[in-house]
Amino acid sequence: MERTSTGVELRNLRRTFGPVVALDNLNLSLQPGELIALLGPSGCGKTTALRLLAGLDQPDSGEIIVGGRDITAIPASKRNMGMVFQSYSLFPNLTAAENVAFGLRVRRVAKPERLKRAAELLELVGLGEQRDRYPHAMSGGQAQRVALARAIAIQPDVLLLDEPLSALDAKVRTQLRDEIRRLQIEVGITTLFVTHDQEEAMAIADRVGVMRAGNLEQLDVPAVLYARPATPFVASFVGTNNAVPTTVAGDGTVEVLGRALAVATGSDEIPIGGAANALLRPESVSLVSRDGASDGSSGVVSSTSFFGSVTRLTVKLDAGQFLLVDMPSVIARDFTAGTEVMARAMTNEVVIQHQEAVALIDE
Amino acid sequence: MAAVVRRRRERHIFAWAILALIALYFMLPLVSATEFSLRENNGTHGLNAYRAIFQQTDLRDVVMLTLRLTVISVVLSLAIMVPTVTMVHLGAKKYRRLVEFISLQPLVIPPIVLVLGVVNVMPVSLLGSADLLGFEYVVLAMPFTFRALDAGLMNLDVKTIVDAARGLGASWFTVLVRIVAPNLRSGIFGAMFLTIALVLGEFTMASLMLWNTFPTWIATVGQSDASLSVALSVASLAFAWVLLVLISFADRRRKA
Amino acid sequence: MSILTQSTVAAGVRPSRAVRRRRVLRKARNLAGLLPFFVYTLIFFGAPTIMVVIKAFQDQQHHWTLANVAESIQTIYFDSFVESLKLSLWSASTGTLVGFAATYALLKTGNTWLRKIVQTAAGVFANTGGIPLAFMFIAALGTYGMVTEWLQRIGIDIYGGRWTLFGFSGLLLVYLYFQIPLMVIVILPALDAQKREWREAATNLGASTRQYWLHVGGPILFAPVAGAFLLLFANAFAAYATARALTSGTLPLVPLQIGSLLSGNVIADKANLGFALGFGMIVIVAIAMFIYNATQKRAAKWLQ
């Protein structure tokens, strides 16, 4: 489909609800045709940002620019954006086709043409046969597909998705998320996708913005977000981490599992001698069996969880702490529960945070 | 920006205005009646009319009759409806729609028509006893008692609980008394209060079957003593309201 | 079915005679358990109702006749049906409108504390009727009522013309006291079920307020509102106590006519006429309830 994509810019958006600051001067740019995922725990402001962009809410201050035009004062019904909600998206008294055609009907498109277009779009999302079905007779996944078709039927400048997969079963979630991405690329529409599921965000977004308490802590491509988190919050929210207690040594390094590691950028400022938690990814820990090995920290495998190609082992270190270690399942076969091991960090630098920062995620 | 914020507040003011107006409609008669009942002969206000209630010679008989009817209605209602509703949720599931349909029929047959039939079909001996009125009140209350108990059991998945209990060796009696009844408690309370409220306010059948219950007595008094009857009305309203407020509390506890 | 019989059936084996006998016994036991209910309702509800219907078509000598029914829809009795229907339709429409507005306004404020109060109050007011209600209004709007005197003080004499609290419009005003709360109780769940997302989705797709209500909001609410209207209609139509208390029989209304006939206030040979009137009432309310059921079924599906 040939179309020109539109860029979006959110400038200094601020929104408060009484004493609560939902958005604290948010600045965000979406490149034309890009899919940005806003990721964060409940209350971080991601949905507020989305609703401001949609026009369903008004900012206290700031501007919203779409395609170079300032649309801040334009009402929601005139913004030409497509939106998919978490649940109850569809109008229960209309069939799937009528739902999809709704935006066109409101724009006074003639009946035969709008129903034809609706049929096309339903085919596009794989629901050609469900044309005359009512929402109550559809599964959650089907309903969201129809909602998606309905949103793009009006050829919007921007597509907004408010946790569209959160109410669905796991398997449907992964299927649908890939379809949304496929469709988004095919149509080339600039998209803002809000979610609290970091796996989802990382899987489909061009860039991910991690939000916390009304602020955008980091906006980057998924790989960078994962490997080089800008703050301890981002480090703990994205992916799993082991928090290994350590102290800052005289030369500014920290000792983790028997090795001195450099402190990565984005860490908290901790003085020499101060206590810290080093955030170590499970895949950055290597295990070898204890006999013959000397460096690392000793421990015992206490349990294993099989995830298909990867197995996650829980290792109880002699010092008392539990470590999560990921390794390919073929190798994990040698590390059954009870195996005595030596654990070593396989990375050269690590993000550290204050030890009191225990409440990593607010949910 | 200021215009938008103002728009948000304005809409709510409109809503509150409508509610205030309607509240006025409901409060005025209430306030008027209360004020009237508190008027005294020399132009001041006092509780004379209410004190007069207790000086009525008929009061004792009327209260005793109303009380008797209340007890009969409540006991019979529960005795019939609790086992019935329990049973349609447990074993006789397919009868549930039939029982529900029958229970709702008293809403279709107006009490004025029902009393016409009762007076003409019941044997004279039964008509001479006030208990008949109690029996009919059970019928009038049926739509509400059924719904209260039915709703309570629907939230419960009775079948599973009972199967579990029976599987563990409990007898039917134990199951009913120790398992179903306690869970039904708020439904039972709701049914009870609704029946009581109905009995305290029922006028049609009582007056046409010529019984001197509290509501009919108020009407008789009204023909001779205005302030006394208004005081009685306000008192009976207040009492019924307290009951109904209690129902909503029992209701909300169930939903919690 | 107990766990035992279920598993036997699931195995696809024809149940043994013992199991079949147990099942029949169980069915009998269920029916026996429900017997008190059926018998009770038959005696104290079914019998009187059937009596009314039968006697409507009989004369004093127990011969079948249509004379009663014929007379019930003539002259003054016809008038009373008309008046009753008028009163019921007016109080139902007004109650529906005002009750809807009140509920909509309530939900708009979003105030949960207010909502709880209104719900409790509605339950209380919906059950207010008869003498207490009549006296309340007399105290407010009667010839020496509190509100009457207030209005007189600012120059409005509501009794100056032909209006009286004890006429048709007065009774209508009083009926609203329990009709409006009944509407609120019935429509609150339906309005509550209106999801914010529908409105927002519609707005987002470009619909104006008018378009939303025309294509989505209105159709969804039609069945609950129509159902509520019918309930209010039946409620008003059947009402006796309030009408009696306020008008003491001066207004021709069917329930009042039946009451008079029952109290022996009319000539003896008109006795069976009362049954015909009662039968007429049953027919009208039954039709209303039938329509009510029909409208609810379809809508219930949508709002699952």
Token pair for residue B15?
């809503």
Q: How high is the pLDDT of residue C271? A: 67
Token pair for residue B153?
């059991």
Is the pLDDT score of A262 beyond 70?
Answer: yes
Within 10 A of B146 (CB to CB), how many other CB atoms are there?
23
Q: How high is the pLDDT of residue B165? A: 82
Q: What is the chain A residue with the closest CA to B6? A: A58
Q: For B176-194, what is each residue's pLDDT tens digit?
A: 777 777 777 878 888 888 8
Q: How high is the pLDDT of residue C6? A: 46
Chain C touched by B87 (CB under 8 Å): yes
Q: Are C268 and B90 in contact (CB under 8 A)?
A: no
The torsion angles phi and psi of C238, rounded to 5 degrees, stand at -85, -10
Chain C touched by B239 (CB under 8 Å): no
Q: Are C127 and C182 in contact (CB under 8 A)?
A: no
- Residue of A14, A15, A58 to mutate, testing the B interface (most B Cβ within 10 Å of its Cβ): A58
Q: Of A54, A79, A92, which has the smallest distance from its Cβ to C220's Cβ?
A: A92
* Least confident segment among A238-242, A352-356, C171-175, C299-303: C299-303
The C-alpha of A253 sits at a distance from chain C's nearest C-alpha, in angstroms, of: 52
Name every residue whose Cβ is closer than 8 Å to that of residue C188 and which is 6 or more positions away in sequence: C103, C106, C107, C119, C122
The answer to whether B18 contacts C285, with C-beta atoms less than 8 Å apart, is no
Contact residues on chain A for B1, CB-CB shorter than 8 A:
58-61
Contact residues on chain C for B84, CB-CB shorter than 8 A:
33-34, 36-37
Report the share of chain C in percent with pLDDT over 90.
40
The answer to whether B5 contacts A58, with C-beta atoms less than 8 Å apart, is yes
Q: How high is the pLDDT of residue B256? A: 42
Name the band, by pLDDT with cuts 50, 70 and 90, for residue C207: very high
Within 10 A of A275 (CB to CB), how many other CB atoms are there?
13
Q: How far apart are CA A94 and CA C201, in angstroms?
A: 13
Q: Of B91, B117, B222, which has the smallest distance from its Cβ to C48's Cβ?
A: B117
Q: What is the chain A residue with the closest CA to C301? A: A136
What pTM was computed for the model?
0.81
Contact residues on chain C for A80, CB-CB shorter than 8 A:
206
Mean pLDDT, range A254-281, rounded to an integer: 86
DSSP A162-184: ESTTTTS-HHHHHHHHHHHHHHH
Write the CA distances from B173 to B81, B166, B247, C226, integer angstroms.
17, 11, 28, 45
The C-alpha of B46 sits at a distance from chain A's nearest C-alpha, in angstroms, of: 48
Burial bucket for residue C14 (CB in 10 Å: 0-12, 13-18, 19+): exposed
Q: How high is the pLDDT of residue B184? A: 79
The sign of the CA dihedral C242, C246, C248, C253 is negative
Residues paired with residue A19 on neighbouring β-strands, in sequence order: none
Q: For A10-37, what is each residue's pLDDT tens digit?
A: 999 999 988 889 999 999 999 999 999 9
Q: Which residue has the higher pLDDT, A279 or A54?
A: A54
Residue A264 has what DSSP assignment?
Answer: P
Q: What is the mean pLDDT of chain C?
A: 85
Q: What is the chain B residue with the closest CA to A60? A: B1
Q: How far apart are CA A259 and CA A345, in angstroms?
A: 7
Q: How far apart are CA B28 and CA A182, in angstroms?
A: 64
Contact residues on chain A for B9, CB-CB shorter than 8 A:
none
- Exposure class string for A303-313: b at 16+ Cβ within 10 A, else e: ebeeeeeebbb
Contact residues on chain A for B4, CB-CB shorter than 8 A:
58
Mean pLDDT, range C228-251, rounded to an integer: 89
Mean pLDDT, range B100-129, rounded to an integer: 89
Q: How far apart are CA A24 and CA C280, in angstroms?
A: 69
Q: For B191-231, what is each residue's pLDDT tens digit?
A: 888 888 889 889 999 999 999 998 899 888 888 887 888 88
Write the CA distances from B42 to B45, B46, B80, integer angstroms.
9, 10, 54
Contact residues on chain B for C147, CB-CB shorter than 8 A:
28, 32
Within 10 A of B50 (CB to CB), how many other CB atoms are there?
16
3-state helix, strand, coil in chain A (%, to 5): 30, 35, 40
Name the band, by pLDDT with cuts 50, 70 and 90, for residue C235: very high
Contact residues on chain B for A15, CB-CB shorter than 8 A:
none
The answer to whether C136 contacts B32, with C-beta atoms less than 8 Å apart, is yes
- Residue of A91, A138, A150 to mutate, testing the C interface (most C Cβ within 10 Å of its Cβ): A91
Is the pLDDT score of B43 beyond 90?
Answer: no
Name the band, by pLDDT with cuts 50, 70 and 90, for residue C267: low
Q: Are C181 and C99 in contact (CB under 8 A)?
A: yes
Chain C touched by B213 (CB under 8 Å): no
Chain C touched by B162 (CB under 8 Å): no
Q: How high is the pLDDT of residue A325? A: 92
Q: How high is the pLDDT of residue B228? A: 85
Name the band, by pLDDT with cuts 50, 70 and 90, for residue C5: very low
Name every residue whose Cβ is closer than 8 Å to that of residue C107 and which is 6 or more positions away in sequence: C115, C188, C191, C192
Contact residues on chain C for B13, CB-CB shorter than 8 A:
none
The torsion angles phi and psi of B193, rounded to 5 degrees, stand at -65, -40
Q: How far apart are CA A74 and CA A227, in angstroms?
A: 40
Token pair for residue C24?
């029949």
Which three-class secondary structure string do you get for B44-61?
A: CECCHHHHHHHHCCCHHH
Q: For A307-354, what is each residue's pLDDT tens digit?
A: 889 999 999 998 888 999 999 999 989 898 898 999 999 988 888 888
The answer to whether A81 contacts C204, with C-beta atoms less than 8 Å apart, is yes
Q: How far apart are CA B108 and CA B114, in angstroms?
A: 10
Task: Count each helix (H run) and each strand (E run) in chain C, helices first.
Answer: 15, 0
Is the pLDDT score of B7 beyond 50?
Answer: no
Q: For C62-77, what is each residue's pLDDT tens digit?
A: 788 777 777 777 778 8
Report the candidate in C222, C230, C229, C224 with the shortest Cα–Cα distance to residue C287.
C230
Residue A12, H or E segment: strand A8-17
The C-alpha of B1 sits at a distance from chain A's nearest C-alpha, in angstroms, of: 7
The answer to whether B138 contacts C40, with C-beta atoms less than 8 Å apart, is yes
The answer to whether C301 contacts A77, with C-beta atoms less than 8 Å apart, is no
Q: How far apart are CA C214 and CA C197, in angstroms?
A: 17
Report the share of chain A in percent with pLDDT over 90.
61
Report the candidate in A108, B106, A54 with the shortest Cα–Cα distance to residue C44.
B106
Q: How far apart are CA C154 and CA B12, in angstroms?
A: 31
Contact residues on chain C for A83, CB-CB shorter than 8 A:
200-201, 204
Q: What is the chain A residue with the closest CA to B3? A: A73
Name the band, by pLDDT with cuts 50, 70 and 90, for residue B252: low
For residue C8, give the amino acid letter: T
Q: How far apart are CA B33 and CA C132, in angstroms?
A: 9
Q: What is the mean pLDDT of chain A?
A: 89
The C-alpha of B49 sits at a distance from chain A's nearest C-alpha, in angstroms, of: 51
For residue C151, give the amino acid letter: L
Mean pLDDT, range B140-159, rounded to an integer: 83
Chain A touched by C210 (CB under 8 Å): no
Greatest mean pLDDT range, B94-108, B176-190, C198-212, C243-257: C198-212
Contact residues on chain A for C211, CB-CB shorter than 8 A:
106
The C-alpha of A190 sits at a distance from chain C's nearest C-alpha, in angstroms, of: 16
Strands A158-162 and A190-195, how do they pair?
parallel
Q: Are A50 and A38 in contact (CB under 8 A)?
A: yes
Q: For A88-143, what is each residue's pLDDT tens digit?
A: 889 999 999 999 999 999 999 999 999 999 999 999 999 988 899 999 999 999 99
The C-alpha of A303 sits at a distance from chain B's nearest C-alpha, in angstroms, of: 35
Greatest mean pLDDT range, A49-53, A344-348, B161-165, C155-159: A49-53
* Least confident segment among A240-244, B1-5, C13-17, C228-232: B1-5
Is the pLDDT score of B129 beyond 90?
Answer: no
Q: What is the largest CA-CA distance in chain B?
A: 79
The torsion angles phi and psi of C55, rounded to 5 degrees, stand at -65, -20
Q: Of B116, B135, B229, which has the smallest distance from its Cβ to C52's Cβ?
A: B116
Q: Are A279 and A317 in contact (CB under 8 A)?
A: no
* Least confident segment among A284-293, B50-59, B83-92, C6-15: C6-15
Is the pLDDT score of A219 beyond 70?
Answer: yes
* Least confident segment among B150-154, C216-220, C283-287: B150-154
